[in-house]
Amino acid sequence: MSGAGEWLASEKAFYVTTPIYYVNDAPHIGHAYTTTAGDFLTRWHRQRGEKVWYLTGVDEHGTKVQRAADAGGVTPQQWVDRLVEQSWLPVLETVDAANDDFIRTTQSRHVERVQKFWEKVRDNGFVYSDAYEGPYCVGCEEFKFPGDLIEGTGEFEGQMVCPVHGKPAEELREDNWFFKLSAFGDRLIEHYEAHPNAVRPQSAYNEVMAFLRKGLVDISMSRSSVDWGIPLTWDPEQVVYVWFDALLNYATAVGYGSEPGTDEAARYATTWPADVHLVGKDILRFHAVYWPAMLLAADQPMPKQVFAHGWLLVGGEKMSKSKLTGIAPEQIIDHFGSDAFRYYFMRAISFGQDGSFSWEDMTARYTSELANGLGNLASRATAMVGKYRDGVLPEAGPLTAAEDAVVERLAAASVAADRAMDELDFATAIGEVRSVVELVNQYVTEVEPWVLAKDEANAQRLDTVLYTMCEALRGVAVLYNPLMPKAMSSLWQHLGAHEALGELGAQRVSEAGRWGQLPAGAHVTKGYALFPRLPDDAPES
């Protein structure tokens, strides 16, 4: 985590969050997908030289957790402590995430600030006591409207079921406290009409606007039949409804409710509102309707953008534990490595749309795009500098049209990739950098440096080719560093760039496309393969 002192500065941090994940079980690659997306985005902004804050964490309250703990024969706190330590924190290291904070909803900093928040909302007149009667899906931890449910099939034929979990909702009758959600429908419509990029992609925006225009109804903000949660200060027999507890993590983690004049208060002032909430599309309503309404009720700024990505599908089904399609991230990373995991899921799936994962497709992309593409180019470039120039990068001679094409492609790709990242269009950004690799591989095939090396008369021409290969890789290493930090750190070392240009993380994406930065005389070493041949064994399906 960054030092507190920097938060005393007035510069606004670029603040990105993932959803906080339920800890009723271990994480699967659907969770790792969102975390990787946030990590890629925030690393990119760091490489722009911006101040960044990246938050992830876990939601530890609610009926699902309480029942899972009961089934396991332990207390809810024992259950969540074990899962966080053994599963949720380790997965961050597995996917190579560089988050700045990890919030747990059982932490006192969260509990106390949630209570302060709802006291403020109550004082503002947006909380009242009433009875709730209706369906509740424990899987979603959501009060359902009758129109949310669909006709069941199979064993649930003739019953109304949750469309996400395919099971009947439970019928509740509770005396709870309600949040006046209905008071904020018009204000939210007005806000989203004025800020259409506040909910993305377009399909998500359309869904939210349609929901708002149907009219909002008040919703229970507490539960009287659940023990595992944050007690209301004015009614300790009730706990905050798990979503109205969990959503607040985005604000409590960065200091909402802190004492004025403290470092925590300074962090909140220079971090909130969030720039991007990354969420799955199944929890869009909570983040784009309930959450901003809560903030308005407490006189707080709304987040700048909620971006709802699609589902990961395996065999046509959404990635989930309940349908047994959950795959642990380490199953994939142990085989392919974390860089390849990050590359594949950001490259192969258009962020914002559903995408299918298959072992075969990942293997094919690893082989063609990473091992035979980037890895082979890096190996050839460094090996040839070692073989023909004793590992010392030569000075380039005059450039021909072939080199000019590489220079122009690197410059254009760096600009286009940066623009795509602003749109959270990760696949396009990666494709722009990959186009440089493809062009240089084609360039090497056409100019045949191994043929040039046979005639001393071509020495200057060979120097130019070797320099072009290495300098292009220098730019690629900078642009790919937020995506594949381990492999690019190795490439940076192999090119001698660390010694010549300094830390890779200090290189700016805005400068990545400027030609001629890697100096002649840099010590180039072949090193080990960036993307080694995959082991033959793969997990059984």
**Among all residues, which ones are annotated catalytic?**
28, 31, 137, 140, 162, 165, 318, 321
CA distance 357 to 312: 7
DSSP string, 209-273: HHHHHT----EE-EESS--SSPEETTEEEEEE-HHHHHTTHHHHTTTTTPPTTSHHHHHHHHHPS
Rg (CA), the chain: 26
Cα angle value 322/324/325 (rounded, 5°): 110
Whether the Cβ atoms of residue 23 and residue 58 lie closer than 8 Å to each other: yes
Position 527: which residue type? G
CA distance 460 to 92: 48
CA distance 350 to 310: 9
324: left (phi over 0), alpha (psi -120 to 50) or beta: left
CA distances from 382 to 405, 428, 489 (A): 21, 28, 15
CA distance 224 to 231: 10
Contacts of 5-8 spanning 24+ positions with Cβ under 8 A: 5/263, 6/51, 7/263, 7/266, 7/267, 7/270, 7/271, 8/263, 8/266
Residues in the chain, total:
541
Which DSSP category does 367 fall into?
Answer: I
